[in-house]
Chains A and B, each alone.
Chain A
Amino acid sequence: MGWKGAAEPVLTRMPAVRRPEGHVPFKRKLAWTAGILVLYFFLTNVALLGLDQGEATDLFGQFRAILAGEFGSILQVGIGPIVTASIVLQLLGGTNLLGLDTDDPRDQVLYQGLQKLLVVVMTALTAIPMVFAGGFLPVQGSLSLGGLALDSTGVQLLLFVQIFVGGILLLYMDEVVSKWGVGSGIGLFIIAGVSQRLVAGFLSLSEEGFFYSWFQILTGRTDLDPIAGGAGLYQLVVTEGQLLALATTVLIFAIVVYAESVRIEIPLSHARVKGARGRFPVKLIYASVLPMILVRAVQANVQFLGQILNSQWGMPAWLGVYSEGQPVSGFFYYVAPIYSREEWLWWTAQVTQEWWQVLIRIGIDVAVMVGGGAIFAIFWVETTDMGPEATAKQIQNSGMQIPGFRQNVGVVEKVMERYIPQVTVIGGALVGLLAVAANMLGTIGSVTGTGLLLAVSITYKLYEEIAEEQMMEMHPMMRNMFGKE
Chain B
Amino acid sequence: MDRGQNSGGLMSSAGLVRYFDSEDSNAIRIDPKSVIAFGVLIGLLVQLLTFVS
Contacts and interface: CB of A to CB of B under 8 A. Distances in A.
Given A280-B4, A398-B3, A482-B9, A176 B16 contact: no
* Range for the number of chain B residues in contact with chain A: 35 or more
Contacts of B2: 278-281
A233 B40 CA distance: 50
Contacts of A119: 17
Contacts of A458: 13-14
A464 B27 CA distance: 33
A19 interface: yes
A335 interface: no
Interface string A214-245: 00000000000000000000000000000000
Interface string A97-116: 00000100110110110010
Contacts of A174: 17
Contacts of A482: 6-7, 9
Q: Which secondary structure characterizes the binding site on chain B?
A: loop
Contacts of A184: 12-17
B6, B7, B14, B39: which has the most chain A beta carbons within 10 Å?
Answer: B14
A483 B8 contact: yes
B30 A385 contact: no
Given A12-B24, A112-B20, A461 B13 contact: yes
Interface string A18-53: 110000000000001001100100110011110000
A86 B30 contact: no
Interface of A: 12-19, 32, 35-36, 39, 42-43, 46-49, 74, 79, 82-83, 86, 102, 105-106, 108-109, 111-112, 115, 119, 143-146, 162, 165-166, 169, 171-176, 178-180, 183-184, 186-187, 190, 268, 270, 276, 278-281, 288, 290, 293, 384-386, 394-395, 397-400, 458, 461-462, 464-465, 468, 481-484
8 contacts: A13-B28, A16-B30, A42-B40, A74-B42, A82-B16, A119-B17, A482-B9, A483-B7
Interface of B: 1-24, 26-32, 35-36, 38-40, 42-43, 46-47, 49-50, 52-53
